[in-house]
Structure 1
Amino acid sequence: MLRFMPVGDSMTIGSAGEHTWRHRLWQLLRDTYDPAVTLVGPRETLYDKQTDAPTSLAYADPGFPRGHLAGWGEGWLHMAPLIGDAIRTCRPDVLLVSLGLIDLGFYTDAEQTAGNVRAFVGAARAADPCVRMVLLPVIPNVRAESDAPFAGQVALFNVLLAKAVADLDEPRSPILLASPPRSYDIHTDTYDGTHPNASGEHRIAAAFAGAMREAWGIGQAYAAGTV
């Protein structure tokens, strides 16, 4: 049984009333890979927009392993110092990481963000030298349509992320760079230009699933035509 830890920002933690892409991916892996597959992490909650805090357990379907390391407004900058303890405590085999939009939007430029990617990987491996990782490129959000410098930083970071994966990948602790979610459209796959709706959740889950199926033979990719 493999143990997966989703790591991410608001797109990963989700908010009250949602399924989240975490649920969609778990469901796919359970049905096509191992019924006992689980998600682990030091947190379980959703973000509650009414209280402006990660205090909700009101999942659309709460009957799944809800562990994660994700936070509304958190990025590589925030997760790099936390990942070591999370790995030592929760013992994941695979990290599923979707981070970077918050960093680039509010905290660090592309080069600094890429430096935090490398710090994250180093901290993860210090905790478990054999941990595997799947990293998702940043999906440009609605801000990138009207803010050219921000869009440029997103594009540059995704190039630097690919370089970091190529530099840091090693047989004992492999790192995959997932492809961007197929046919992802922020106008139809999000509810606000950033956060995924149901179709967006499926597309993000499919990006992780496809990478793991192609590289490691884990589970099945989404059926053709479903995303």
Structure 2
Amino acid sequence: MSRVIRRAGVLTSALLAILFALLAAPGAQGAQAAQAADPVRVMALGDSITGSPGCWRSLLWQRLQSAGHTNVDFVGSLSGQSCGLPLFDDNHEGHGGILATTMANQNQLPAWLAAADPDVVLMHLGTNDVWSNQSPATITAAYSKLVGQMRANNPDVTVLVARILPMNASNCGECGQRVVNLNAAIPGWAAGISTAQSPVVVVDQWSGFNTATDTYDGVHPNDAGNVKIAARWYPALVPYLS
């Protein structure tokens, strides 16, 4: 009887050893890793339309959460604009007054990328360049440098780039047409730089946006404008959250 018990004990030990080996196998480890996957890191990159206060980011965050896209981390070196809305992940990289050309020429982006390490970038840049009468070719050249810096930080980065909001500012009468000219150049630029590994996707923030009803000064979005901006980013972003 004792021999049978000892034999059963040996078999039990062997079975446990096999079980532990299976759990330690690459497939099991992969399953465990999948269950604890890192969140998708999303950087909102731009100027005051993105960051001062950039209330569309709160609306976008709330919509993502309510739709079950909870494995998302908004990243960036800036925060602190609550917009009087429910708490949300307020990290971003929206620098008021910044130009895409300045950001590129002064190599400001690499340090922000290194700290935030985004998987997806939501880029609405060019409004201040338009105001400063930079040409579409100059602005898209800056875009190219910025995308190159994003890829140097993360070769698999996805860049969602906006056709920027329209402008109707009393002290920049030509800005409206300059925006039209820049936005006309963005799709061709994006198609030329996009790759399968690192797609550059155009998000049309211009069409259907009314400076009379969706801004408070002809440039910056009001509450209605923020709703429209969030609504345009949402369907473009969701496919890259898996």
Alignment-derived partner of residue 70 in structure 2: 35
Q: 2:89 aligns with which of 65, 83, 86?
A: 65
174-183 or 126-135, which moves further after superposition? 174-183
- Answering whether residue 50 of structure 2 is matched by residue 8 of structure 1, we say no
Q: Distance in 1 between matches of 2:186 and 2:55?
A: 24
Map 1:84-95 to 2 at 5 A.
84-95=110-121
Q: Distance in 1 between matches of 2:207 and 2:185?
A: 21
Give percent identity, aligned residues only. Answer: 27
Q: Which runs of 5+ in 1 are unaligned?
A: 47-57, 220-227
Q: 2:142 aligns with which of 96, 102, 116?
A: 116
Q: 2:173 aligns with which of 144, 147, 150?
A: 147
Displacement, 1:107?
A: 5.7
Map 1:72-83 to 2 at 5 A.
72-80=96-104, 81-83=107-109
Partners of 1:43 and 1:67 within 8 A in 2: yes
- Answering whether residue 124 of structure 2 is matched by residue 98 of structure 1, we say yes
Alignment-derived partner of residue 54 in structure 1: none
Partners of 2:123 and 2:160 within 8 A in 1: yes
Q: For residue 129 of structure 2, give the secondary structure of its aligned residue in structure 1.
A: helix
Which gives a bigger RCO, structure 1 or 2 (Cα 8 Å, sep 6+)?
A: 1
Q: For residue 112 of structure 1, give the secondary structure of its aligned residue in structure 2.
A: helix
- Answering whether residue 226 of structure 2 is matched by residue 201 of structure 1, we say yes
Q: Distance in 1 between matches of 2:189 and 2:112?
A: 22
Greater per-residue helix proportion: 2
Displacement, 1:181?
A: 5.1
- Answering whether residue 212 of structure 2 is matched by residue 212 of structure 1, we say no
Q: Distance in 2 between matches of 1:98 and 1:186?
A: 17
Partners of 2:41 and 2:73 within 8 A in 1: yes
The one-character-per-residue Cα deviations of 1:108-159 (angstroms, maximum 9, x if unpaired) are 22211111011111111111111111011121211389724x3332222112
Q: Which runs of 5+ in 2 are unaligned?
A: 1-38
Q: Distance in 2 between matches of 1:36 and 1:204?
A: 21
CA RMSD of aligned residues (A): 2.3
The one-character-per-residue Cα deviations of 1:193-214 (angstroms, maximum 9, x if unpaired) are 111111111101111112234x
The one-character-per-residue Cα deviations of 1:163-213 (angstroms, maximum 9, x if unpaired) are 111001101111110123553211111111111111111101111112234
Q: For residue 184 of structure 2, give the secondary structure of its aligned residue in structure 1.
A: helix
Q: Detail structure 1 runs of 4+ shifted over 6 Å in the superposition.
A: none
How many aligned positions are there?
A: 202
The one-character-per-residue Cα deviations of 1:31-53 (angstroms, maximum 9, x if unpaired) are 2142232210011144xxxxxxx
TM-score, structure 2 as length reference: 0.76
Q: Distance in 1 between matches of 2:56 and 2:153?
A: 26
Q: Distance in 2 between matches of 1:130 and 1:179?
A: 23
Tell me: CA distance 1:128–1:217, structure 2 relative to 1, closer, same or farther (3 Å).
closer
176-185 or 119-128, which moves further after superposition? 176-185
TM-score, structure 1 as length reference: 0.80
